[in-house]
Chains A and B, each alone.
Chain A
C-alpha cells in the first residue's frame, strides 16, 4: 500500500509539538507521547530511524532543531514516507526563504497547515512542487487566484497545472533576456588506506540549473558520456570524435526529464521548471581524477610525544587553484601542547574536535606544501587501550575542475517563438567524504 503516513508531527528538541496533522483515523491522537517516552527520552534516539511501538510504527528524521515524525499503523511505504519528508522540507524552505527550523515553523504555522493539507491527502503524497503550489498557496490568502472578486488577477488554469503532464512549469512565462545557468557540482568521495592504496573512490555529481526562459521551451543536453556519444554516432553514422569519454555508472533525473526517451535515444530532453532545480545526479567510479594526494606520517615517540608530518600534493593543472582547503588530522584527547611548522597556510590545534586543523585559503595546482607538528601528550596511566585513530579528513573546492572529466557538449533550447538564449556553464569539484586513514 503506497500510503506514506497516518499522521505527521513536527517536534522541537524537547519534544513539544510545533505542528501536527492527522491524515487517517487509524492512529490515536496521543502518539507523540509514545514517541517521546520510547524514543526521545531513551538511548534509542538516533539508533534506528524506523521503530515499532505497540501497534504503530514511527519514522523520524531530524532536520536542524526539528524532529519530523511520521506515524503509521499499516504496512506503509517507508521509502515514500522519508522521501515525502525530504521533499516537504525543501518545499517549506522555498516558502520560508531558505531556512527550516523551530522558529520558521512557529512563524509560518498557518501556511504550513495549509501546505500540509495540500501536499498529502489521506496519507497519499500529492503534488509537492513549489513552482506550482506557489501559484495558489500564497502567504496572503486574498491573493488567491480564484477569489470570486473580479478585481483579483486570476490564474485560470492553476488546477490544470497542478494535475497536468507538465506539473512543474506554469504557462505564460515571459523573460526579456532568456538565460540558462548550468552548474556542474561534483563531490569526490575517497577512502584511502594508510598505505596509500585507494579503498573506495567515487564521484557523485549533480547538474544544477537555473532557467529564466520564456514560454514552454524544450531543452536537450549533451554530455561527453560514453553511452550518449555512442548512440549519437550510431544515429549520425559518424565515428566518435577522439577525446575523453566518461562512463556514468548511474544517472537519475529530475521528474521533468523524459525517461522513456532517455532509455531509447539516450538523450536528455526536458521541459525545465522555472528558476532553480536539480536536473540530474550521476555517479562515477572509474577513472576519477583525484585533485589531492595526502601523504601522512605519524610517529608515536613514547607515551607522551607524537610527530605528525603531512604532505598534500595538488594534482590538477598549474593554472588552476583550490579554495578553502582544510585538512583535519586527528590527535589523541590527551593532547597538551602542539608546535607547528607549515610551508603555507595556517595550522592550529582545535581541542573541541581533537584535531590539528590546517587551513590553506588558496592552493595552486601542482604544488606540495607540508605541515609538521610536534604533539605533546599528557601521560595517562590507566589507559590500556591504544588510541583508535580516526581518519584524516579534507575539505576543498576546486573551481573549473571536474574530478570525473565530465563536460557539457551542448545545450539546445527550442521554443516555438524561436528566441535566442544565453547559456552559462560552470564547473566545481568539492570534497565529499575525503578520508585518509592513518
Chain B
C-alpha cells in the first residue's frame, strides 16, 4: 500500500504561493486537500509558507480527519510566528474537543498543547479539564500528557487550575495506558519543580507495580523509571519489590529490560541476604547478554551500561567474558566498548583466552582499535600480577611484527608495567631498544626515553642512545623534551663520566636559554641548582623510589558510579557523566569529567539563568540598571533553545560581555547588506556591516521590525573570530514597535576574543531581544575596515622592508576583470581606504604602482600593482609578515578596485 505523495513536492516554479492560495480557497474538497498536502510538502523541504496561514486555517473546519490532521500539523509549525492569527483556530479547537469522536477530541487537546502561544494556552484549560475526565481512555491518556505540556509553558496555570490533582487521580485509573502516561507526566513535572508534587508512597508503589503487568512496553518503561527513585524502607520491602520487577527482565524491549535492571540494582543495595543477591545476579546476566544481539546502536547503549554495572557488581558477568569477544564486523564503537569490558572482566582464570583475543585484535585493520588492544594487554598486566609475564611475552611477540604503531603503543604500556613491577622485567629492555629508530610519536618517544633514563645503569650504551635523541632536542614536542631532560640528569647521576657531563651541559643549556616553555625551563633550573649545590641531594630527589602504580585509569569514583547507576539507560549512563554535567536546563554547578569534548555548551549563560522562569523574583525594572545582562534573562521570555557548539564559545563568555540596550541612537546612512532576513527572523530583519570611521571600527546595524509585536531589550554578542572583534560598548536600540526600524553604530574593539586557526573573514553574531529566540547570523569581516591611518611608509623603509621579507612571504593574484581608467581617482580611493601610494615606475608598457598599508598590531602590507591604464587586468603582489592574511587582503582590494 505504497503512496505516491512525492508528486506534492514538485510544484510549478511560477508564483507558487499565490497558486497555492487559490487552491486552498477552492470550492472542491479534494483540491483543498491536495493544496494542504502541497503546503506541508513545502514546509517539509524548508520553504516558508507562513503567509498562507489564514488560508490553511480556513480548511480546518472539515469532516475529513486526514485533512484536519494536516492543518493541525501546519498550526504546530507556524502558530508561533503568527500568534495573533493563531487565535482564529481556537474556536475550532474548542469545538473539536467536544466532538463525539474520541479520536478528534484527543487530537484537539494534543495539538493545542503543542501550540505554545500564550493566548491559546488560556483557551486550553477548559477543554483539558473536560478531557481529563473524559469517558474514553484514549482521550484521558492524551490529556494526561497534555498537562505536562502545559506545565512546561505555564507552571502556575497548571497549579492554579488544579490540574495536578486531576493528574494524580488518573494514577488510580482503570486503564493501564492512562496510568502510565499520568505517571510519566507527573514524574516530569516533579523533575522541574522544587516542591514535592509526586511522591511515591508504598501504597502507590504497589498499585503501580500491579499496573505494570498490563501496560504497553513503553508504559512499563515510564513506570519503572518513575519507581526507580523509590527508597524501600527495609530489606524485606526491597526484596518484595525486586521479586515483582524481575519478570520484566524477560521482555523483548531493551528499554524495559534496562529500566528493570536499574530498579533491581537500586533495591539490591538494601538487600542483606547474600543468597538473594547471588540469585539476582544470576538472573540479571542472561538478559544483559541478550541485549548484545540487538541492533549495534542498542548494543552500544547496553555496553556503556554494562561497563557501569560490572564496576559495581563484577560477579554478574564474571563468567560471560566470551560474549564480549569482538566479531570481525562489529562496528568500531561496539568493539571499543567490548574491549573495555573485557579488561574489566579479565581474571587469572580467563586471562589466557583473553590474551589470545587481544593478540588477534592487534593484527586487525583499524589503527585505533589495534592500539586499544595493545594497551589492553598492558592494562591486564598491571591488573593481574600473576599474568603479567604472559602479557609481556605477548607484547614482545607483537613488537616483533614491527608494525610501527603497534610497537609504539607497546612501548607506552611497557613503561607502565615497569612502574607497576619494578626490577622484574628489565631483561626485555634490549628488545625494546631495537625499535628505537621507528619511534615517531611523542608519547612513545617519551616513554622510551623514560625507560632509558630509569635503567641507565643497566643499559651499556645508554649515553649513546640518549645522545641520538639530543640532536633534535629543540624540535621535539615538550613532552619529549621534559623526558629527555630528566633522563639525561638521571644518566649523569648514575654515570657521572665525561660523556654524560657534556650531554647535561647541552641539555641544560637548551632547556634554559633556548626554550620559551616555562615548564621545561623551570624544571631545568631546579635540576641545575640541585646539581650545582648538592649532587647527593639531587640523587635523593631525582632517583627516589617511585610509588607503585595500579590500574585505576578507567574506574569511576564510587559516588559518581552511584549516580550513574541510578541513571541506567539514560544519556548520563552512556556519557558516564552526571546529568547536570550536560543538561543545560538544570540549575546546578557544572561538574566536569574527563574527555569533555564540548565544555562550553554545558554552561551557557543563557540557558542556565533562564531555566526556572516561574521562580524569577526580581522584577525586570529593578534589576536592569545594576546587573543588566544576567537579570534580564529572568524576564518571562521564552527560554532560548540550547545551541550547538558552533556558537558555544559565544554563549560561554561571561555575562558582562552581553550588552543590553538602553538608549536610542542615530540611524546610519547608506543601505547595509541584509544579514538576517525577515523570513528567518520571524519578522525581525537585521542589516549590518563593519565600517571604519575616524580611525575607529564600528559595526553599523539596522533593525527593522516586521513582526506583529513590539521588540525590546536587544543585545548583541560576537563569537570568537580571527581578529578578536567584540563590542566595545552596549548595543543601543530603542523599543521597536511593529513596522518601525532603528539603526545604530556599535563601537568595536579588536583582539578581545581571538579564535585560533588560519585567519578567515567569518564573523558569527548573535542578537537577542526579550520577545524572540536568539538569532544567529554570519557576516563577513572586510579587511578594509582594519587598514590604519598610520600605514604610510617612507620610500627607504619600504624598500628595506621589501628586501628583508623572504620571498615565501610574497603572494600574488590576478584580477582579470578589474580596470583602472583614471589613475588619480584610483589613488584617491585607495588613500581613502588607508592604502598609501609610495612610488610608480614603468615596466615595458605596464605601469607598476607601490603602496603600503598596515593593520592593527603593526602588521604591514607592501603592495605592488601591475596594470595598463584602461585595459582590464590588474596583477597584484603583496609582501607581508603574515601571508596568511593575503586572501582577505585581495578581497578588500577587489572591493576598492571595483567601485
Partner of B66, one of A3, A33, A54, A114: A114
Report the Cα distance A99→B175, complex, angstroms: 35
Q: Which of the residues A57, A83, A111 comes within 8 Å of B3, measured between beta carbons?
A: A111
Q: Does B100 contact A (CB under 8 A)?
A: yes
- The answer on a CB contact under 8 Å between B298 and A83 is yes
Per a CB cutoff under 8 Å, which of B69, B214, B402, B644 touches A38?
B644
A97 at the interface (CB under 8 A from B): yes
Give the residues in chain A near B46, CB-CB below 8 Å.
Answer: 17
* Contact pick for A95, options B1, B102, B146, B176, CB 8 Å: B1
Identity of the chain B residue whose Cβ is nearest the Cβ of A281 in the assembled complex: B252
Does A233 sit within 8 A of B, measured CB to CB?
no
Q: Counting CB contacts under 8 A, is A144 at the interface?
A: yes
CA distance A141 to B601 in the complex (A): 44
The CA of A90 and the CA of B575, in the complex, are separated in Å by 28
Instruction: Check if B101 sits within 8 Å of A146, measured CB to CB.
Output: yes
State which of A28, A48, A103, A199 has its C-beta within 8 Å of the C-beta of B322.
Answer: A199
Report the Cα distance A415→B104, complex, angstroms. Answer: 35
Q: Are B69 and A1 interface neighbours, CB within 8 A?
A: no
Bound together, the chains give a CA A262 to CA B251 distance in angstroms of 11
The answer to whether A148 has its CB under 8 Å from any CB of chain B is: yes
Check if A96 is an interface residue, CB within 8 A of chain B: yes
Q: In the bound complex, do residue B103 and residue A163 qualify as a contact, i.e. CB atoms below 8 Å apart?
A: no
Is there contact, CB below 8 Å, between A77 and B570? yes
Q: A52 near B582 (CB under 8 angstroms)?
A: yes
**B252 and A55: CB pair below 8 A?**
no
Partner of A75, one of B138, B248, B583, B598: B583
Binds B, one of A218-226, A246-254, A319-327: A246-254
B66 contacts A110, CB within 8 Å?
Answer: yes
Q: Which A residues between 22 and 52 are near B, CB-CB below 8 angstroms?
A: 22, 24-28, 31, 33-34, 37-38, 46-50, 52
Check B644 against A34 for contact (C-beta < 8 Å): yes
* Assembled-state Cα–Cα distance A84/B569 (Å): 13
Query: What residues of chain A lie closer than 8 Å to B101, measured between beta carbons?
Result: 146-148
Q: Find residues 566-603 in chain B having any chain A CB closer than 8 Å to their own CB.
A: 567, 569-575, 579, 582-585, 597-598, 600-602
**CB 8 Å contact bits of A84-119 with B (1 = contact, 0 = none):** 101000000001110100011011111101100100
B773: Cβ under 8 A from any A Cβ: yes
For chain B residues 531-574, which have a beta carbon within 8 Å of chain A?
567, 569-574
CB <8 Å contact, A163 and B300: no
Known contacts being A79-B298, A82-B298, is A57 close to B571, with CB within 8 Å? yes
Number of A-B contacts (CB under 8 A): 353
Name which residue of chain A comes closest to B243, CB basis.
Answer: A263
Known A-B contacts A17-B44, A49-B297, A50-B571; A139 and B360 likewise in contact (beta carbons under 8 Å): no
Contact in complex: B252, A86 (CB < 8 Å)? no
CB contact between A86 and one of B246, B298, B601, B638 (< 8 Å): that residue: B298
Neighbouring A residues of B216 by C-beta, 8 Å: 126-127, 129, 167, 255
Contact of B2 among A50, A60, A107 (CB under 8 A): A107
Q: Are A250 and B286 in contact (CB under 8 A)?
A: yes
- Residues of chain B within 8 A (CB-CB) of A386 are 401
A-facing mask of B357-377, CB < 8 A → 1, else 0?
A: 100100111000000000000
In the assembly, what is the distance between CA of A73 and CA of B579, in Å? 11
Could you tell me if A48 and B2 are in contact, using CB atoms closer than 8 angstroms? no
User: Which stretch of B121-129, B329-337, B388-396, B872-880 is in the interface?
Assistant: B329-337
How many Å lie between the Cα of A60 and that of B6 in the bound state? 25
Within 8 A of A (CB), among B221-273: 221-222, 225-226, 246-248, 250-255, 257-259
Q: How large is the interface on A (under 10, 10 to 19, 20 to 34, 35 or more residues)?
A: 35 or more
A163 and B289 contacting across the interface, CB-CB below 8 Å: no
**Interface membership of A204, Cβ < 8 A:** yes
Q: Would you give the shortest CB distance from B1 to chain A, in whole angstroms?
A: 6
Q: Which residues of B contact A389 (CB under 8 A)?
A: 363
| Segment at the A interface, from B184-192, B468-476, B613-621, B744-752 | B184-192
| B363 contact set on A, CB distance < 8 A | 388-389
Does B693 touch A at the CB level, under 8 Å? no
List chain B residues, Cβ under 8 A from A79. 254-255, 258-259, 298, 301-302, 569
A96 vs chain B, min Cβ distance (A) = 5
The answer to whether B602 touches A55 (Cβ under 8 A) is yes
User: How far is A52 from B584 in the complex, measured between Cα atoms in Å?
Assistant: 12
Q: Given the complex, which residues of B lie within 8 Å of A165, measured CB to CB?
A: 176, 214
User: A61 at interface (Cβ–Cβ under 8 A)?
Assistant: yes
B642 and A122 form a contact (CB under 8 A): no
Contact among B37, B213, B567, B583 with A110 in the assembled complex (CB-CB below 8 Å)? B37
Q: By CB atoms of chain A within 10 A, which of B103, B139, B148 has the most?
A: B103
Assembled-state Cα–Cα distance A388/B365 (Å):
7
In the bound complex, residues from chain A placing their C-beta under 8 Å from that of B323 are: 200, 202
B3 touches A124 (CB 8 A): no
Interface assignment of A160: CB less than 8 Å from any CB of chain B: yes
**In the bound complex, what is the Cα–Cα distance between A17 and B47 (angstroms)?**
12
B136 within 8 A of A: yes
What bracket does the count of chain B residues touching chain A fall in? 35 or more
Cα distance A59–B575 when bound, in Å? 12
A367 at the interface (CB under 8 A from B): no
Q: Is B730's beta carbon under 8 Å from chain A?
A: no
Choice from B5, B44, B72, B353 contacting A107 with Cβ under 8 Å: B5
Cross-chain contact B184 with A54 (CB below 8 angstroms): no
Return the chain B residue nearest A158 by Cβ. Answer: B103
* Chain B residues positioned under 8 Å from A48 (CB to CB): 300, 333
Residue pair B63, A259 in contact (C-beta under 8 Å): no
Which of B46, B290, B325, B597 has most A Cβ within 10 Å?
Answer: B290
Kindly report which residue of chain A lies nearest to residue B184, judged by CB atoms.
A124
A253-B254 in contact given A57-B571, A79-B569, A163-B141 (Cβ < 8 Å)? no
CB < 8 Å: which of A20, A75, A204 contacts B293?
A: A204
Q: How far is the CB of B111 from chain A (nearest CB, A)?
A: 8
**Residue in A closest to B580 when the chains form the complex, CB atoms:** A75
B73 near A113: Cβ-Cβ < 8 Å: yes
Instruction: Say if the beta carbon of B110 comes within 8 Å of chain A.
Output: yes
Determine the distance from Cα of A127 to Cα of B255 in the docked complex, in whole angstroms. 15
B296 contacts the other chain (Cβ, under 8 Å)?
A: yes
In the complex, are the beta carbons of B2 and A283 less than 8 A apart?
no
Give the chain A neighbours of B646 by CB distance below 8 A.
34, 37, 54
Q: A79-B258, A159-B136, A199-B325 are in contact. Are A146 and B65 (CB under 8 A)?
A: yes
Inter-subunit contact A56/B642 (CB<8 Å):
yes
By a CB distance below 8 angstroms, the chain A residues around B113 are: 122
- Closest partner residue, chain B, to A46 (CB atom): B331
| Complex partner residue of A106 from B1, B5, B648, CB under 8 angstroms | B5
* Given known contacts A77-B569, A148-B101, A263-B247, A54 and B4 CB-to-CB distance under 8 angstroms: no
> Quick check: is B45 within 8 A (CB to CB) of the other chain?
yes
Name the contact of A252 in the complex, choosing from B142, B250, B302, B402 (C-beta under 8 A).
B250
In the complex the two chains form, what is the Cα distance from A75 to B574 in whole Å?
Answer: 10
Cβ of A162 within 8 Å of any chain B Cβ, yes or no, is yes
Complex: A26 Cα to B353 Cα, angstroms: 48
The one of B4, B110, B191, B329 that contacts A121, using a Cβ cutoff of 8 Å? B110
Q: Which 10 A-B pairs have the closest CB atoms?
A: A141-B66, A55-B642, A250-B286, A34-B644, A159-B138, A54-B601, A146-B101, A28-B641, A75-B579, A54-B644
Q: List 10 A-B contacts (CB under 8 A).
A: A26-B585, A49-B296, A75-B582, A79-B569, A117-B69, A117-B72, A125-B218, A139-B3, A199-B325, A199-B356
Given contacts A165-B176, A262-B250, 17 further A-B contacts (CB under 8 A): A1-B188, A34-B645, A47-B332, A47-B333, A49-B300, A54-B600, A82-B301, A95-B1, A96-B2, A106-B5, A121-B110, A124-B218, A144-B66, A160-B137, A202-B323, A250-B286, A384-B403
Please report B residues at the A interface, Cβ cutoff 8 Å: 1-6, 8-9, 37, 40-41, 44-46, 63-67, 69-70, 72-73, 76, 100-104, 106, 110, 113-114, 116, 136-139, 141-142, 145-146, 148-149, 152, 175-178, 181, 184, 187-188, 191, 213-214, 216-218, 221-222, 225-226, 246-248, 250-255, 257-259, 286-287, 289-290, 293, 295-298, 300-302, 322-323, 325, 327-329, 331-333, 353, 356-357, 360, 363-365, 401-403, 567, 569-575, 579, 582-585, 597-598, 600-602, 604, 607, 638-639, 641-648, 773
